[in-house]
Structure formats: C-alpha cells, structure tokens
Amino acid sequence: MPLLLAPWTRLSLLVVLLLAAGVCVLLYEPQRVLSEGWPPGLPVGTAVALFAAGYGVCAAAFVPRPLLNLAAGAVFGTQFGLLAAVGGTVLGAGIAFGLGRVMGQEALRPYLRGRWLQAADGQLSRHGFRSMLAVRLFPGVPFVVANYCAAVSRCGWVPFLCATALGVVPNTTAYVIAGASASSPGSPAFLVSFGFIVVSVVAAAVVAWRKRHRLAPARMPAAVREPAPEHPPVVTGASHGP
C-alpha cells in the first residue's frame, strides 16, 4: 500500500491524530481524572505508575504540564508526586517524539529552509543533549512544540530523553511542591515554589530576548551586497593615423 507509506499521508494522519487529541482534552478534561479518579486502597507504587502512564498520554495530547504537575503534588505529595511527574513527562515526550519522527520527519525536513528553522535544526542535530537541556531548563518553548521540533531534526533518542529527564526536574519540582502545599498557600513551601516558578518564567523571557540576535537574518555590508558597477574606460581623444 504505497499511499499509506507516503510521507505526506503519514503527516496528514499525524495532524488528524493531534487534532482529535486536542478535542478530547477540551471535552473530557483528563487532568481531572488524574487528580480525582483514583480508587481507594490502591497501592502507592501502582498508583504512581498508573499516574505516570496517564500523565504521559495527557502530556502528548496537549494537556498543559503545569496542571499535571500540580495534580501530581496534590495526589501524592512531594516525593512520589515528583517521581510520577518526571516519569510521565519523559513518557509523554517519548510518545510525541516517536510520533513526530515516524509520521512527520520525512515530509517536513525538505521545508527547513528558513534561517531560524535551519539554525534550530542545526543545534538539535549537532548538540542534541545540550540544546534540549537548555530548552527544558528554561520554560519558554511549549513542551509539545519542543518535542515535535526535536523529532523533525536529527536529534537522537537517548540525548532527547536524557535531557528531558534532567532538564524538567527543577521546574517540575516547583509545581509539585506548589500542588502538595496548595491547601496552605501562606506556607514557606508554597511561597518558595511559587516564587521559583515566577523567577524561572521571567529568566526564560530575558534569555530569549537577549539571544534573539543569534537567529536574526545576517546583514551583509553594503559594499558586499551591491558591488560597484564597472565603468568602461573613458576616451579622452581620438586617435589619428600618421
């Protein structure tokens, strides 16, 4: 079935799948199930594993991670909540990365022609771990967008997943602590975690603003852009024979 294997066919199926996932998120709000739908008496280890699995599916389906992190903290507290949230984050990133790599990379790579796109692709392809770690540490790029951009690039699986697991820990920890201490918003734990979230967002905006020139189109000097026209030699007088 060559049609089903065509790159643009796979990309179209991916778009339909993502649209369907987004609609389901809006209609059913699966993040509420994660925070309210646990049966009583469920062992902690089983509950953490199930939460991480549900977190991963929801994160790949455009549910905002801050909501999932807050739910993890509210359900399990700080320690088990952080374990569930980080595990679910890595799983969700892996799902999105795999879908983008299998269903979208071949169709989209020929269109990476703009300077910004080529610069991002070069960074992710040559320095996958370092680039993804920076993206995860500074929450300026949406989680799902970063996953699919990395999938279209030549970033490897291991650098992508390792950088995700390490890079999301600080920000995820802050949200989990905030969720665990949300019942006492005046407590030091809640205030410190909330302050960290605000500072990280502001720092990401400042870094993005200061580094914007690296992706700006290069401007060539005027002398290089417009070479001086060549003028024919000026004849000052007519030549006379002997």
Residue 85 exposure: Cα atoms within 13 Å on the Cβ side: 35
Q: How far apart are CA 175 and CA 10, in angstroms?
A: 36
Calculated CA dihedral for residues 68, 178, 160, 53, nearest 10 degrees: -30
Name the pLDDT band for 108 (thresholds 50, 70, 90). Answer: low
pTM reported for the whole predicted model: 0.74
- The confidence score (pLDDT) of residue 227 equals 52
- The confidence score (pLDDT) of residue 222 equals 47
- Of 11-25, 139-153, 216-230, the range with the highest mean pLDDT is 139-153
More confident: 3 or 102: 102
Where in the chain are the domains?
2-35+43-213
Would you give the DSSP letter of residue 104?
A: T
